[in-house]
Structure 1
Amino acid sequence: MAEILFLILGILCLGYFMGIVWYAGLSSRFPLLWMLLGMVFLALGGALHFEIFLPPFLCKILLLLTALFLCLFFFVEARIAKAMIQKAEKNLDYLIVLGAQVKGARPSLSLAYRISEAEKYLKENPETKAVLSGGKGANEEISEAACMYQELVHRGIVPLRLIQENQSINTQQNIAFSYQLLEQDWKKAKQPCRVGIVTSNFHLYRGTAIAKKKTDLLIYGIAAKSSGFLQVNYLVREFFGVLKDWAAGNL
């Protein structure tokens, strides 16, 4: 039974890897994890089939490590999932819209979803302003901030409501550099500034957690949707992103 289970898992992982390559290409190396997992599961299935076993003490150690890893994984994923379903607070003072990949001068699918969520919120809450945060990466003709600005202005958002932050290259810098701009723009010094973080649903836990840790703003989450097919890949990748920022003291 275990042999068949490992073979099925291996085929599913390899199939998912090929699906990602077909659907989105290899814009990062992370999807290779699915190919690696597929090969590991197939190897385990083959080992069981040919009755190749490790010494009992090694099996116990591997089972213990696997159990600990799964406990940590599901603990982190539960926090990510909880952040994904929170409702947006109305009439916030500012949004910080976190950037994502720009393809040439056009938004990628992830960035397009974030832009659409920001547009919806800004039209429903006309007093809210937005900081558009994201620098210019490799193979990008314009910065992520400039791309978001162009799209939102084209969709009818008044330019005076938009502030560009075009130097950041990761989530921590998105928050830190946007916070500096908010301090300059916020006029009601005696009142707490209420800010919504707009990012992809799977990324919302980390984005809001960093903002709460690194600023004195009142932080709320606003989740943009993401690709359904790639969601599993995103959620697994985000697990490692959370661990990385936790180890760096950002959470």
Structure 2
Amino acid sequence: MPEIIFLWLGLLCLGYFVGIARYVGWTSKFPIVWAGLGAGLLLTGILILTENLSKKAELLCCAMGILLLVSVVVVVAVIVSVMFLPVEPDLDYLVVLGAQVMGTRPSLSLQYRIDSACEYLKENPGTRAVLSGGKGPDEGISEARCMYEEMLRQGVDREQLILEDRSASTSQNIEFTRNLLKEKTEREEGTEGRARRLKVGIVTNGFHLFRGMAIARKKTDWQVYGIGAKSNVFLLPNYLFREFFCVIKDKLVGNL
């Protein structure tokens, strides 16, 4: 019985890897994890089936598989629990977290974030948005600049937009934006601004919302709210699996 489970899961992982490669190409290295996981599961299943694996090794593989599965389910359940939060109106600021830029155009994930931010800013004209994201090695412009230009095209008032174009990770998105808003609030509001807790909404895809909000709560004194943008349904398992590792990593390094 265990060998059948390993074989089917291995084929499923390899099939999903091929599907991702055909659907979006090689825009990200993470899907290789699905290929490696699938190959490992298939090999384990074959070794059990051909009785080339000792009972002790078989039990160890089963235990490791169950541990990984339970860990992923628990973390993903926490991530999913904040994906559909109600939207808080009249926030002081939005922080729109950057994502991959394809040349000078937003990737689909980034476009979803832009669309959600634009909708909110038009409905709440008193809110301003920090567009946070630097320029990666394969990107023609910074993520912040890409978001800025696309939001202007969608009719958002440029006075509502602030660029933060140095960050290269979610943690830096929050840290650099925190410093920027602290200076801006003190300059505009003085002592009163220093004492006031800003109401800030984190705008990102639903699968990324838990980590973005958790880092913001850890590293700032903001009142943190979440605004979850759409995600590509086919790629959602890939995004959630990647977030599992990102959450573990950020927890270990003290970002959460």
The share of aligned pairs that are identical, in percent, is 51
The AA in structure 2 aligned to 1:80 is: I
The AA in structure 2 aligned to 1:28 is: S
Give the CA deviation at 1:191. Answer: 2.7
Name stretches of at least 5 consecutive residues in structure 1 with no aligned partner: none
In the TM superposition, 1:124-143 aligns within 5 A as: 124-143=123-142
The AA in structure 2 aligned to 1:183 is: K
Q: Cα deviation per residue 1:62-117 (whole Å; 9 max; x = unaligned)?
A: 44444333333222111101111211111111000000111111101111000000
Aligned equivalents of 1:18, 1:65: Cα separation in 2: 25
Q: Secondary structure at the match of 1:84?
A: coil
2:6 corresponding residue in structure 1: 6
The AA in structure 1 aligned to 2:37 is: L
Alignment CA distance shift 1:69-1:10 (3 Å):
closer
2:173 corresponding residue in structure 1: 174
Contact kept, 8 Å, 2:83 with 2:228, in 1: the verdict is yes
TM-score normalised by structure 1 residue count? 0.94
Q: 2:234 aligns with which of 229, 232, 236?
A: 229
1:207 corresponding residue in structure 2: 212
2:152 corresponding residue in structure 1: 153
User: Which stretch shifts more, 47-56 or 93-102?
Assistant: 47-56
Give the CA deviation at 1:41. Answer: 2.0
Contact kept, 8 Å, 2:48 with 2:58, in 1: the verdict is no
The AA in structure 1 aligned to 2:49 is: H
Name stretches of at least 5 consecutive residues in structure 2 with no aligned partner: none
Give the CA deviation at 1:26. Answer: 1.8
Aligned equivalents of 1:117, 1:14: Cα separation in 2: 33
The AA in structure 2 aligned to 1:89 is: E
1:197 corresponding residue in structure 2: 202
Give the CA deviation at 1:34. Answer: 1.0
Give the CA deviation at 1:39. Answer: 1.2
Give the CA deviation at 1:205. Answer: 0.5
Aligned equivalents of 2:135, 2:89: Cα separation in 1: 31
Aligned equivalents of 2:45, 2:62: Cα separation in 1: 16
2:76 corresponding residue in structure 1: 77
The AA in structure 2 aligned to 1:133 is: S
Aligned equivalents of 1:62, 1:15: Cα separation in 2: 22
Give the CA deviation at 1:242. Answer: 0.5
Aligned equivalents of 2:9, 2:70: Cα separation in 1: 20
Alignment CA distance shift 1:83-1:26 (3 Å):
same
Alignment CA distance shift 1:133-1:157 (3 Å):
same
Aligned equivalents of 2:226, 2:248: Cα separation in 1: 20
1:100 corresponding residue in structure 2: 99
Alignment CA distance shift 1:41-1:67 (3 Å):
closer
1:91 corresponding residue in structure 2: 90
Aligned equivalents of 1:130, 1:29: Cα separation in 2: 30
1:49 corresponding residue in structure 2: 49
Give the CA deviation at 1:14. Answer: 1.0
1:219 lines up with 2:224 in the alignment: yes
Alignment CA distance shift 1:204-1:146 (3 Å):
same
Alignment CA distance shift 1:14-1:66 (3 Å):
closer
Give the CA deviation at 1:23. Answer: 0.8
